[in-house]
Amino acid sequence: KMVVAVAVKMVVVVAAAKIVVVAAVKLVVVVKTVVVVAAKMVVVVVAKMVIAVAAKMVVVVAVKMVVVVAAKIVVVVVAVKFAQRHSPPQERGGQRRGRSSLWIGVN
């Protein structure tokens, strides 16, 4: 009777142990998949953030470049106009024209 009881107990313990092991393995698998999914999510989120930041940087850089280029163009245009207004040969002609038109306006 003792032997049978011990044997039954052993069987029960072994069965219980198997169940526990199987459950543990399943848990590990679930945890792994959760971790993997979570890691992927994190990577995706981080990647999105990086892309967003990079996009903002690109936009900022592009805007800066456009502004710089525009500023250069404006400077060049202003310089050219300034030079045209204040260059001696055209200055005389321009002033004459200006005066004559003014006189015409006055008359």
Residue 90 — pLDDT band, cuts 50, 70, 90? very low
State residue 89's pLDDT score: 55
b (16+ CB within 10 A) / e for 28-62: eeeeeeeeeeeeeeeeeeeeeeeeeeeeeeeeeee
When the pLDDT of each residue in the chain is averaged and rounded to a whole number, the result is: 82
Say which residues have a Cβ less than 8 Å from residue 91's Cβ, sequence separation at least 6. 85
34-66 per-position pLDDT tens digit: 999 999 999 999 999 999 999 999 999 999 999
Nearest Cα to Cα of residue 87 among 98, 75, 95: 95
- What average pLDDT does this structure show over 11-17? 89
Specify the pLDDT at position 88. 58
pTM passes above 0.85: no
